[in-house]
Amino acid sequence: MPSKQQQADNEIHEDQLLNFLVNALDQEISLDLGANAEIDTEDIYEVLVGACADGTSISTLCSSSENSPAANTILYHLRTKFELERLERVANTLLRRDVIELLPEQVEVCADLHLRPYYGNEDDTDGLYHSEAKRGTTAFHAYATLYARVKNKRHTLAVRRLEDGDTASSVLAEFLGVLDGLDAEVKAVYLDRGFYDSKCLTLLQAHNYAYVMPIIRWGETIQQELSEGWSRVINHDLTGKLDGHSWTVEFPVYIDCTYLNGRYDENGVARHGYAADAPFIETPRAARYHYSKRFGIESSYRLSEQAIATKTTRDATVRLLYVVVSLLLQNAWRYLHYEYVATPRRGGRRLWWWPYKEFVNMVRRAAWTALAVRRGVPANRPPDDRFHR
C-alpha cells in the first residue's frame, strides 16, 4: 500500500500551543503583582487559558489540580489588577497582533452586537445593557465585535463592552477609527440591523466606506414598499436629531424578493430590504448575496461558547477578560492553522484538517498536564477484576 503523504517535517505539540497563548497574554497584558507575590503572571494566565479551553470555572479547575495556585488567589488578582478601560485597549492590540499578517490588501469587515442574557436580581443591573426583551430578560452582558473576513474565515479585530448609554453610532465610530488605522483597504462593511439608524449611515458616508445592512421597517413608506411589488432599487431617507439639530441622510434600498415555497411553513413572497452603497452591488440579489457573508461571524460566538470560562461573577472586567481570551483562542487557531500547519503551494496554501474543537482539546490537555489535574479519585475499596483488562 502507498504510504500516507507526509504533511510536514515539524510538529507543534500541545504544550507549545499553551505556551503560545500564555506568552501572548503576558506580553500584551502585563501585571504588577508586587514583590511578595507567591505566583507570577504566567501562573495566572495558564489557569485562565486552561479554564476557557476546558469550559469550566477557575475555581473548579484549581480545586481539581495539584500544581495550580489557589482559586481565591487567581480570582483576587483578576478582580484587582485589571482596569476596564486599559483592558479594552490592550485586548484589541492583543487580538490584532498576529491577525494583521493575514489581512490582504482589500479586506471585508463585519460588526456585530452580541447580548448574553442576565437573569439575576432586577434591582442589581448597574453596568448592564438594557434592550428589547429577548430570552426572557431585558438586561444583558453586551459586547460589540469587529471582524475581518478573509477567505471565509473570521478574525476578530476589536471587542467592546456595552452598557446603558452606549449607542450603535458610538460603537461604530470607534470601530471606524480602528479601520482607519489599518494598512489594508476596506472593501466593504457589513453590519447587522442594530446599526440601522441615521447616525450610523451618516458616519459610513462620512468615512466613505462601502456598506450593506438590513433595514428596519420604520414608517409607513418603507412598510408599503416592502409589502408589494417585485425586486427593485428605491431611494430612501432617515431623519436624525442631535442636540436640537436635525438632518436627513439619503441612501439606496435594495429590495430582493423570493418565493417562500413552503419554507418555514409559509408561502407567498418574502421581501428583504438592504441599505447598501457599494460599487460591486448593482442588483437586489447581489445585495442579499453579499450580506449573507455576514452571518458567518455569528459562528464565532458559537465557537466562543465552546471555549469560555464559566462564571457567576458580576465583575464587568473579569467577564470581559473571559470573552477576550475566548476570542484569542479563535484568532490563534486561525493564525497557526494558516501560518504553521498549512502547506505553501502555488495557487494558495493547502489547509490540512485541524478543526477548532481539536485545537481546544489540545490546549485543554496541555493545561491539565501543566496544572497536574487529577486523573483519579480516592476510593474506599480497592478496584476488583472488573477494573482490569
Q: Can you tell me the distance from the alpha carbon of 309 to that of 311, in angstroms, rounded to the nearest whole number?
A: 6
Cα 255 to chain centroid distance, Å, stands at 29
pLDDT of residue 158: 92
**Burial (CB count <10 Å: 0-12, 13-18, 19+), residue 287:** buried
HEC per residue, 29-71: CCCCCCCCCCCCHHHHHHHHHHHHHHCCCHHHHHHCECCCCCH
Question: By C-alpha distance, which of 34, 3, 143 is closest to 84?
Answer: 143
Q: Can you tell me the distance from the alpha carbon of 189 to that of 184, in angstroms, rounded to the nearest whole number?
A: 13
Task: Give yes or no for a contact between 112 and 298, defined as CB atoms under 8 angstroms apart.
Answer: yes
Strands (E) located in the chain? 106-117, 129-134, 137-150, 153-162, 185-191, 211-214, 232-242, 245-259, 269-277
In the numeric block, the cell 494558516 is attached to 338
Strands (E) located in 320-359? none
0.85 exceeded by pTM: yes
Question: By C-alpha distance, which of 135, 111, 49, 110 is closest to 321?
Answer: 49
pLDDT of residue 1: 46
Q: Can you tell me the distance from the alpha carbon of 288 to that of 389, in angstroms, rounded to the nearest whole number?
A: 59
- The three cell numbers of residue 33 are 503583582
Q: What is the pLDDT along the chain (389 residues), one digit of tens a residue?
A: 455 555 666 889 999 999 999 999 999 888 877 777 788 899 999 999 999 999 999 999 999 998 888 989 998 888 888 888 888 889 888 999 888 888 888 899 998 888 888 887 777 777 788 888 887 888 888 889 999 988 778 889 999 998 888 888 999 999 999 898 888 889 999 998 889 999 999 999 999 999 999 998 888 888 888 888 889 999 998 888 877 788 899 999 999 998 877 777 778 888 889 999 999 999 999 999 988 876 554 456 666 677 788 877 778 888 899 999 999 999 999 999 988 988 888 877 788 889 999 999 999 999 999 999 888 888 999 999 999 98
Please say whether the dihedral angle defined by the alpha carbons of residues 359, 362, 368 and 369, taken in this order, is positive or negative. negative
Q: Can you tell me the distance from the alpha carbon of 209 to that of 211, in angstroms, rounded to the nearest whole number?
A: 6
Task: Give yes or no for a contact between 214 and 235, defined as CB atoms under 8 angstroms apart.
Answer: no
pLDDT of residue 253: 92
pLDDT of residue 8: 64
**Burial (CB count <10 Å: 0-12, 13-18, 19+), residue 174:** middle
Helix (H, G, I), strand (E, B), or coil: what is residue 371?
helix
